[in-house]
Each structure stands twice: as structure tokens, then as C-alpha cells.
Amino acid sequence: MPELSPDAWIAIALSFKVAAVATLWGVPLSTLLALVLARGRFPGKALFDGVIHLPLVLPPVVTGYVLLLLLGRKGPVGAFLDQHFGIVFAFRWTGAVVAAVIMALPIIVRAIRLSIEAVDARLEQASGTLGAGPVSTFFLVTLPLSLPGILVGATLGFAKALGEFGATITFVSNIPGETRTIASAIYTASQSPEGDAEALLLSVIAAVIGLAALVASEVIARRFRRASS
Amino acid sequence: MIEVEINQRLGDFQLDVGFSGDGGVTALFGPSGSGKSSVIKIIAGLTRLASGRVVVDGTVLADGKGRHVPPYRRRIGVVFQEARLFPHLSVRNNLRYGRLFTPRDQRRVAEEPVIETLGIGHLLDRRPATLSGGEQQRVALGRAMLASPRLLLMDEPLASLDVARRLEILPLIEALRDEFGIPIVYVSHAVEEVARLAGKIVVLEAGRVARQGSPADVFRIAADRFAIMSVVEGRLGAPDDAFHLTPIETPAGIVWLNGLVRPLGRAVRVLVHATDVALATRRPEGVTIRTVLAGTVADIPDGSGPSVTVDVALQGGTRLAASVTRAAVAELGLEPGRQVFALVKSVALDERPL
């Protein structure tokens, strides 16, 4: 049984940290976007939808490169954040979080959007006739009834964030202890002549985590379906 | 007090409706597709008024000229055909939902009397999905009431229920009407429901008001003799347990109702179809008919058909329409002012809606 190197353990821990923070930011953001897409009516909605889903179809390296151009220290957004707020994403683990959020967003938004669309709009109407304004109706009716989709989206988004590689390595590189996640560690190991065993072991770990997330999301969805029927 | 004036195109349907209502129940009555539900949606603010006015208690809620108070600020409760209970909340929290948004000084309707009137105290901890259709609709009524609305709209609230459930809920709506004093606009295509509940009926046909008035006035006018009905009011007497009949005491005599109906002394209305009424010039003997009401002939319209609808003024003033053959009118020498006895078959009457 091959042993994992301390560096590999650090990469696993970092991956979980990045994925957890990415999920915490990504779910509220996705819920807002999903609400806009599910209930909003405005010109350019299809385009907006397309932009959100773009990371799904672009080569991840392109997404990472765009992030680097925008959020890098010399990028327009990155320079602004650095000067005014002292926030730097480039080559930091927080940048890995940004990359993970962007890459996971389409998946989370889709799950939540389907869930919001499945909420009976007549219940929201009834809520209005009882005196609840749009915001109250969202938090008291729409959100709780969309909870299964939000949990499914969170689980899938977490798994996606955990495995993100292309955008991450392009945007924040592959710095041990700072931005080297499981995926980057596998890549590094696979490039070195003695790294095969570690690459394989990390791959198995990544597969197990991913599978666990998929099973968990399915179990959540099924439990809610049973509870509501 | 409510005032409604709507002139609006909805798809390829033109709605031109104007009516007003005071306390009590104003019924919008008409066949499906006549525009009843559209009127309700406009009053509730769920559909935007294009042209006209919606005024409740002196407050203009919509004027078609840019004023559109959103539904959640109108304080108008709605009971829909489907209960629309929140599936993720217990019955208790469904009932308390509207209260959250009612300013403290406007919470006029207290929880206990509503729960008691509707008989839903034992359901409070249940989820809506575990309730029967009738129970769900009772909770929906309570939920709307407990928001202390200044007006309650009911859009065919009994239409999705079977006859037994309707029988169970109709008296509850009567009780809500009588106990809590919230004006109600009630939409239905069921004659018995509106005749029983409403103080005023607005008949809609193809998006227009065909006629409006008291139940007695509205149903006395119809082209088809099978559609002509009279409303007789009285108070429930002590039921006859042995024969399963309940008397309704009216100034013109006792109307016998099928079945045991309580409580004693409650004011009730029955609908009498003109085709279920026969006339006699003397109090008859040896007939099976139990209900004999005294009155005088008020009017016999001219006509050339085989039958004619005689307008009888019962003692106490109620008008009763009797559809009889012209041959019988001629043979008995019926004419305005003549004393008659109206005979109504008891088996044709009961309190059942539909």
C-alpha cells in the first residue's frame, strides 16, 4: 500500500477548503441568478443565460485565462481591487476559489433553477394575497420549496469545485500549499518519473469523493421527493 | 363597501362589468367563461386593471391610469378553487401566515373563534398533504380570514369538492359571513350556493352584467321555465326525527325540508323551482304534498304558449313563481288578487347545494 506524501495531504486539505468556500459563495450567488432566470423577464435573458453557462462549454483554460486577464494584478478588475481594498486573487488560494465558483456556477444555477421553476407560482400568488411582499414570499415560500434543488446544486457544485483543474492552474498556477489542489497535485505527480503511484492514489481519492457527492445529491433529491408526496 | 368598474380586453374577450356591494355577500354568478374569475383577479390585483376603477372602503386600489396597488398591499383575502396551502408549513403556520403581514392594530379577526367555527382545531399540527380536500379548503378559508382582510374574495371555493363536502362547508361560509362581518365577493355558477349566501347577485353573461339584484329578484326572471326560481326565507323549526323532515317557519306557512337540518331558529333560504309549484284555490285535502303556502295571485303574464308563470305574493310579502298550464289558469279562473294556495313538493326541496 503506497503512502501519500505530506504534500499530497496538504493538497487534499486545500482542495476541501477551496471547494467548501467556493460552495458557500457559489450557492447564494447561484440562487440569485437562478431566481432571475426562472422568474425574470427582461431583454437579453438568453444571452445572460448563455454567459452563465459559458464556462461549461469553453475550454477551462480559456476561463482561467480570462480570469487572469481580468483579475490579475495588472487586470482592470484585479488592479482596482488591489489598490482600493487590498484584495488580491492572482496566485492565491482565494483565486482558486474564484475559479472554482465560476466553473461550478452553471451546474449549481441549473439545479436551483429547475427547482424554482417547479415551485407552483399559484402558491406565490396566494402568499401575495395574504399580504406578503415579493421578498417575504421568496424567503417564506419559494426558497423553502426550492431547498431540494439548492442542496443538490450545492453538492454537485462542491464536487465540481473539488475537481476543478484547467481554470485554476491557468489563473492561480500550481503553488504547493497555496494553490496546489488535488487535481494539480495529480498533474504534477504524473509529470514526474516516480510519481505514478501517488498520481494513481490521488486519482482514486478524487473519484471516491466525486462519486460520494453524486450519490449524496441523489439521496437528498429522493428523500425530498418522498417527503413532499 | 366595494365599487367595481371594469372595461378591459383580455385576450379576445371583452369585459365590461360594473357593480357595487356593501357588507354581506355579493355573488358574481354566471356560466363558466362569463368573466367571473377575471373580475376576481382584477379586484385582488393579480391582473392589472386597464380601464375602470376598483374602490374598497373609499380607497382607490386601481384606476386604470397608473394607480395599481399591488396585491400584497390591498388587504383583500382570496380563497381560490384549489386550497393553495403552503405544503412545507403545518396547518397552524399556514393559518398564521397572513397575520405576519397584518399591522398589529388591524388584526381584527382572532384565531380561536375562526378555528372553532371551521372545526379545524384537531388539524393544527398536520401537514396540508395529509388533509382531505374538504379539510384543506376549510384551512384555506381560515387562512384568508386570519389575515383580517377588509374584503374576502371567494373564487368557486366549493367547485372542486364533492356534494357531501360542499354541504359541510357552505354553512361554515354562512357562519363566517354572519360572525366576522367581513364583506365577501363570492363567485360561483351554482344557483343554490349563491341563493343561499348572497344578499346581492350580479349575473354575468359573456363579460357583461346581465342583471343584478336580490336573489329573489334575480332568479324570478328567466326565459326558460325550468330556470325560474324563487327564494323563500324562514327559520328552522324543530326537526321531525321520526320522518326525517325539518320545518321552516315562514309567514305564509311551513315549508318542509327533506332531512334533519339544525340548528333550531337559524335563518335559512330555500330555492323553489317554478316547475315544482302547483296552485290550488282551496286548501287541498288528500294530497301527498306537505308544503302549503297561502298567498294571492299578483300577476299572470299574457302568453300564447301552453304554460305560464304565475307570480304569487305569499303572506309576508315573499314572491313565489309557479309554472302552470294556461288551461289550468282558465279553468280555475285565476286572476290577480285571487287567494291561492301554493303547493310545493317537499321531496323537491332540501338544503343540499346542487
pLDDT-based confidence at residue B222 (cuts at 50, 70, 90): low
Average predicted confidence (pLDDT) for chain A: 91
pLDDT band at residue B187 under the 50/70/90 scheme: very high
Can you give the pLDDT at residue B354? 31
Query: What is the bridge-based pairing of β-strands B25-29 and B200-205?
Result: parallel
Q: Which long-range contacts (CB under 8 A, 24 or more apart) does B114-121 make?
A: B114/B142, B114/B145, B114/B146, B114/B176, B114/B180, B115/B142, B117/B172, B117/B175, B117/B176, B117/B179, B118/B142, B118/B172, B118/B176, B119/B172, B120/B91, B120/B95
- Look at residue B130 in the predicted model and tell me its pLDDT: 93
Rounded to 10 degrees, what is the CA torsion of B206, B211, B213, B217?
-120
Q: Which residue has the higher pLDDT, B273 or A25?
A: A25
What is the signed CA dihedral for B148, B152, B156, B158, rounded to 10 degrees?
A: 40
Record: contact A145-B82, CB cut-off 8 A = no
What per-residue confidence (pLDDT) applies to B180?
84
CA torsion sign for A97, A98, A104, A108 is positive
* Shortest Cα–Cα distance, A127 to chain B (Å): 8
pLDDT of B135 higher than 80: yes
Check CB contact of A125 with chain B, cutoff 8 Å.
yes
ipTM, two decimals, is 0.80
Q: Does A229 touch chain B (CB under 8 A)?
A: yes
- Closest CB from A126, A131, A228 relative to B101: A131
Quote the pLDDT of residue B25: 92
Q: Do the Cβ atoms of B220 and B321 come closer than 8 Å?
A: yes
User: Would you say residue B234 has pLDDT above 90?
Assistant: no
B316 in Cβ contact with B300 (< 8 Å): no
How many Å apart are CA B151 and CA B78, to the nearest integer?
9
- Are B70 and A122 a contacting pair at CB < 8 A? no
pLDDT of residue B273: 87
Domains along chain B? Answer: 2-220 (3.40.50.300), 229-350 (2.40.50.100)
Full-model pTM = 0.79
Could you give the CA distance from residue B352 to residue B192 in angstroms, rounded to a whole number?
8
Looking at per-residue confidence, does A4 or B74 come out higher? B74
> Chain B residue with minimal CA distance to A128?
B72
How close A138 comes to chain B (CA, Å)?
Answer: 13
Cβ contacts of A52 within 8 Å, gap of 6 or more: A33, A37, A105, A106, A109
Task: Answer yes or no: is A84 within a domain.
Answer: yes
Separation of alpha carbons B231 and B161, rounded Å:
25
DSSP secondary structure letters along B284-353: --S-S--EEEEEEEEE-----SSEEEEEEEETTS-EEEEEEEHHHHHHHT--TT-EEEEEE-GGG--S--
| Total domain count, chain A | 1
In a domain, A229, yes or no: no
Q: How confident is the model at residue A114 (pLDDT cuts 50, 70, 90)?
A: very high
> What DSSP line would sit under A63-109, residue for residue?
HHHHHHHHHSTTSHHHHHHHHHH----TTSHHHHHHHHHHHHHHHHH
The span from the CA of B166 to the CA of B134, in Å, is 8
Q: Is A4 helix (H, G, I), strand (E, B) or coil?
A: coil
Per-residue model confidence (pLDDT) at position A113: 94
In contact, B39 and B30? CB cutoff 8 Å: no
pLDDT beyond 60 at A75: yes
Tell me the average pLDDT of chain B: 88
| CB contacts, 8 Å: B77 with chain A | 129-130
Q: Are B340 and B297 in contact (CB under 8 A)?
A: yes
Q: Which of A106-115, B142-151, B207-216 has the lowest mean pLDDT?
A: B207-216
**Where do we find the cell 374584503?**
B151
**Tens-digit pLDDT profile for residues A145-188:** 999 899 999 999 999 999 899 999 999 999 888 999 999 999 99
Question: Would you call A132 and B82 a contact, using CB atoms and an 8 Å cutoff?
Answer: no
Q: Which of B340, B317, B324, B343 is nearest to B256 (CA)?
A: B343
Span A223-229, average pLDDT? 67
Residue in the structure block whose three cell numbers are 309557479: B322
Specify the pLDDT at position B350. Answer: 60
Residue A140 has what pLDDT? 96
CB-based contact A122 B102, cutoff 8 Å = no
A1 assigned to some structural domain: no
CATH code of A153's domain? 1.10.3720.10
Q: What's phi and psi for B285, nearest 5 deg?
A: -125, 160
Percent of chain B with pLDDT over 70: 96
pLDDT of B352 reads 46
Helix (H, G, I), strand (E, B) or coil at B254: strand
Q: Region B56-68: what's the mean pLDDT?
A: 90
pLDDT band at B145 (very low <50, low <70, confident <90, very high): very high
Residue A127 within any structural domain of the chain: yes
* Number of cross-chain residue pairs from A and B with Cβ atoms under 8 Å apart: 64
Q: What is the pLDDT of residue B146?
A: 93
pLDDT, residue B353, reads 36
Per-residue pLDDT at B223 exceeds 80: no
Q: Find the CB nearest B72 among A120, A123, A128.
A: A128
| For residue B171, pLDDT beyond 90 | no
Give A208→chain B minimum CA distance, Å. 34
* CA–CA gap between residue B74 and residue A8 (Å, rounded): 62
Alpha carbon of B230: minimum distance to chain A alpha carbons (Å): 36
Residue A30 has pLDDT above 90, yes or no: yes
Q: How many CB atoms lie within 10 A of CB B102?
A: 18
Spatial distance between the Cα atoms of B73 and A41, rounded to a whole number of angstroms: 23
Give residue B324's identity as a one-letter amino acid code.
V
The domain of A121 spans 6-224
Q: Is the pLDDT of residue B279 over 60?
A: yes
**Is the model's pLDDT at B161 over the cut of 80?**
yes
**Is residue A143 a contact partner of residue A67, using CB atoms and an 8 Å limit?**
no
Which residues from chain B sit within 8 angstroms of residue A129, using beta carbons? 44, 46, 71-72, 76-78, 144
Question: CB distance from A226 to chain B under 8 Å?
Answer: no
Q: Which residue has the higher pLDDT, A30 or B304?
A: A30
Identify the residue with better confidence: B53 or B262: B53
The pLDDT assigned to B6 comes to 94
Residue A184: the pLDDT is 92
Phi, psi of B8 (to 5 degrees): -155, 140
Nearest by CB to A129, from B71, B82, B102: name it.
Answer: B71
Of B114, B142, B352, B302, the residue nearest A130 (C-alpha): B142
**Is B257:B297 a contact under the CB 8 Å cutoff?**
no
